[in-house]
Amino acid sequence: MSTVKSFSVGEGDMFYINHNSDNFTTIDCCLYKKENVKDAILNEIAELSKFKSISRFISTHPHDDHISGLIDYEKRLGILNFYRVDNEATSKNDTEDFKRYCQLRDDTSKSFSLHKGCKRRWMNESDDERQSSGLFCLWPDTSNQKYKDALQVAKEGGDPNNISPAIKYAIDGGYSYLWMGDMETDMQKEFEKVYADGHVSVVFAPHHGRASGSIPSELLSKLSPNLIVVGEAPAKDLDYYKGYLTITQNTAGDIRFELNNPYIDIFVSNPLYEKDGFLYNYNHKDISGMYYLGSIKG
């Protein structure tokens, strides 16, 4: 069974994919924006990934709310496969986690470059040994001038939000998830120009759901998501995507997605969270401190 989990970490992002294979993927790391989450998160990932042959870490960009605790993560779990966009980002707030990000980024034995259409064995290519993990990089187009400008801004110590890649996880049967890091609306408009993958089941709203990262209508129309997850930015800054089915992580807590063909079952850590509008309710049992919210079709 394929499982995707979005952790409630305060104003930051951290996810994992427990593939229905011997692969495990972590996307971003945020262990210090919210009190008392570090040990529980690391323990959970350690337990789930300990028997996996392939573990990878995808870093969307080197903002503190996406790399805080990176050193602790690596000490506990190790990082042998580090995925990031090619960049020369610098930071005026040169934390130890940022320094470690740069070391991993520049380590040719561990790092892999993310860009539109990139191929890598077992990430998105199969062989006789194992199948693809279903992870595809849809952006950046490294020839795009606005993206080049964003790289220069990050190199000069400016905001690295717009160097974020777009990562799609596609599962047999047509189910899929999309992450866009903290990509802001202006860069998403550039992404929309080259996007041709069609419908996505679950979209994690960029920039923690902020209006500054609001998904433009043209791209939303192409994605046609069943569900949008709105992150943990302050409520006053959020875009609630009127007209779309959403879950707001500020109040839902941790969110877990379980593929239960032909549905995706959704669980949250807040037992009081309610959401109208789910088309399917199978009254599934709660699991591991997570409470069944409802199901969507892929």
**CATH number of the domain residue 222 falls in:** 3.60.15.10
pLDDT at 279 over 80: no
- Express each pLDDT in 198-234 by its tens digit: 999 999 999 999 999 999 999 999 999 999 999 999 9
Q: What is the mean pLDDT of residues 33-57?
A: 96
pLDDT at 120 over 90: yes
Q: What is the mean pLDDT of residues 19-35?
A: 95
Closest by Cα among 208, 164, 155 to 186: 164
- Express each pLDDT in 142-170 by its tens digit: 999 999 999 999 999 999 999 999 999 99
Closest by Cα among 53, 66, 51 to 231: 66
Convert 137-166 to b/e letters by CB count within 10 Å (16 or more is b). Answer: bbbbbeebeebeebbebbeeeeebbbbbbb
pLDDT at 88 over 90: yes
State the chain's mean pLDDT as an integer: 95
Q: How far is CA 220 from CA 46, 117, 195, 200, 215, in A?
A: 35, 21, 11, 10, 6
Amino acid at 146: K
pLDDT confidence bin for 172, thresholds 50/70/90:
confident
Packing angle, helices 185-194 and 145-155, rounded to 10: 140
Q: How far is CA 186 from CA 62, 156, 190, 211, in A?
A: 19, 20, 7, 12
Residue 86, classed as helix, strand or coil, is coil
- Express each pLDDT in 59-77 by its tens digit: 999 999 999 999 999 999 9
pLDDT at 284 over 90: no
pLDDT confidence bin for 44, thresholds 50/70/90:
very high
What the block records as the tokens of 109 is: 């034995």
pLDDT at 128 over 80: yes
pLDDT at 283 over 90: no
46: domain range? 3-297
Which residues make Cβ contacts (< 8 Å) with residue 165, sequence separation at least 6? 60, 85, 114, 115, 137, 138, 139, 140, 180, 181
Residue 188, classed as helix, strand or coil, is helix
pLDDT at 191 over 90: yes
Q: What is the pLDDT of residue 274?
A: 86
Contact 265, 292 (CB under 8 A): yes
pTM above 0.85, yes or no: yes
The domain tally of the chain equals: 1
Q: What percent of the chain has pLDDT over 70?
A: 99
Q: What is the pLDDT of residue 125?
A: 93
